[in-house]
Amino acid sequence: MTASAEHSPSMIHALDHVVIAVRDLDDAVAAYRAVLGRAPSWRAEAHGGGATVATFVLANVAMELMAASGRGATAERLTAVLDAEGEGLVSLAFATGDVERAHRRLARLGLEPEPIADGLSVDAETGARRAWRRTRAATTRTHGVRIFLVQQAALPPGRLLAPEPATVTGLDHVVIRTPDPERAVALYGARLGLDMRLDHSNEAWGARLLFFRCGDLIVEVAHDLKAGRGDGPDRLWGLSWRVPDATVARARLAAAGLDVSEVRQGRRPGTRVLTLRDGTCGVPTLLLERGEARDEG
C-alpha cells in the first residue's frame, strides 16, 4: 500500500490488508459501509474458490471481508474458523516488493513458508483484473496468527459516503494478544523485521504493550501482566481506526444507530478516542483522532 520495498532493507514495507471472517458478506459490507463511511473498492472470488471477498481500501491499508460462498477447501477452512472462533480478525497480509526474496528469508528464519502462489482477482462489478503473488508462513511458527506476505498493486480508496471529517481515513494500529511477549519480540522484531518503537509495562492498565512500526501504522502486541507468561497461541484481536474529527465521527455513527461511547482523551498525549461497541463483525474497535500526537519512538 506504500512505496516499493526496493528502497527498504526490510522484506516488509507496510501492512497490505487485514482479513475479517464473516458469515454473511452482504450484511458485513453494509455494516462496514456504516463504520468506515465509505464504499468497498473491490469484490471478487477468493483464491481457490468457495469464498467471496469484499475489500475496503483506506489511505494506508485495505480491509477484506471474507465469507464462504460455495464448496471447496477455502470454504471448508473458513467455516471451520467461524465455527471455532466466531466472526473476527483472522489474518494479516504484509506488503513486500519482492515476494521471492521474502520467501527465501522466511525459509532461512525457520518460518516454513508455503510455496509462492500466483493469482488473478477479477472485480465482480467492473470486470477489472489485478494480479498478485503471495506466500504464507506456517501458523505453528507464527504462534497461531495467520501471516501472509503479498506482492500486488494497490487499489484506489473507496468512494466516501459522508463528509471526510466524519469518515475513517486509515488504520492506526492492529492489536495482537500474546501470552509470551518475549516470543512476540523475536517474531515481529527479529524475524519479520518490523521496527520496534515501544516496550512499556503499566500496572494500572495491567498490560505490557509492544509497538512495532509497519509503514505508517503500528502492530501492537499486548500481554496481560496478571496472567503471567504462558505458552498458548497468540490471537489477533482488535483494530484502531483513524478519524479526522472524533466528535463528528461519533455523531455520524450514533445517527446510524450504532452503539458508540462518548469521546474521551486517549492514552497518547493529544489524542481523542471513542469505542464502537457493535456493527464490527466481532472485532473490538476503537476510533482515534490523532491531533498533534507524535508517533511512538
Query: What are the tens digits of pLDDT across the range 36-64?
Result: 999 999 999 998 789 999 999 999 999 99
Residue 74: predicted pLDDT: 85
User: Does residue 178 sit within a domain?
Assistant: yes
**Strand pairing class (62-68; 14-21):** parallel
Residue 159: inside a domain, yes or no? no
96 within domain boundaries: yes
Whether residue 231 is found in the same domain as residue 258: yes
Residue 127's pLDDT is 95
Residues forming a β-bridge with 89: 20
pLDDT band at 70 (very low <50, low <70, confident <90, very high): confident
Return the beta strands (E) in the chain as ranges.
Answer: 14-21, 42-45, 51-57, 62-68, 88-95, 117-122, 129-136, 146-152, 170-177, 195-202, 207-214, 217-224, 235-242, 264-265, 272-276, 285-289
Mean pLDDT of the chain: 93
> Do 148 and 41 share a domain, yes or no?
yes
Long-range contacts of 53-58 (CB under 8 A, 24+ apart): 54/25, 54/28, 54/29, 55/17, 55/155, 56/32, 56/158, 57/154, 57/155, 57/156, 57/157, 57/158, 58/157, 58/158, 58/168, 58/169, 58/170, 58/171
Chain centre to alpha carbon of residue 181: 20
Q: Mean pLDDT, to the nearest integer, of 21-31?
A: 97
Q: Could you tell me what percentage of the chain is helix, strand and coil, using 3-state DSSP and rounding each to the nearest 5?
A: 20, 35, 40
Give residue-wise pLDDT tens across range 103-149.
999 999 999 999 999 999 999 999 999 999 999 999 999 999 999 99
d(CA 198, CA 200) in angstroms, rounded, equals: 6
Whether the pLDDT of residue 297 is over 80: the answer is no
Q: Residue 94 has what pLDDT?
A: 98
In a domain, 297, yes or no: no
Half-sphere exposure of 129 (CA within 13 A, CB side): 3
Beta bridge partners of 66: 21, 53
Same domain membership, residue 131 and residue 168: no
The per-residue pLDDT for range 204-248, each reduced to its tens digit, is 889 999 999 999 999 999 999 999 999 999 999 999 999 999 999
Domain that holds residue 238: 164-289
Q: What average pLDDT does the segment 159-173 reach? A: 96
Which of 123, 152, 181 is the last residue before a domain boundary?
152
Rounded to two decimals, the pTM is: 0.93
Mean pLDDT of 188-192: 96
Instruction: Please tell me whether residues 195 and 279 are part of one structural domain.
Output: yes
pLDDT at 6 over 60: no
Q: Is residue 226 located within the same domain as residue 142?
A: no
Whether 282 and 187 map to the same domain: the answer is yes
Task: Say if CB 55 and CB 41 are below 8 A apart.
Answer: yes
CATH number of the domain residue 241 falls in = 3.10.180.10
Over pLDDT 70: what percentage of the chain? 95
Highest mean pLDDT out of 3-12, 67-76, 135-144: 135-144
Compute and round to an integer the Cα radius of gyration of the chain: 18
Q: How many domains does the chain have?
A: 2
State whether 143 and 81 are in the same domain.
yes
Specify the pLDDT at position 223: 97
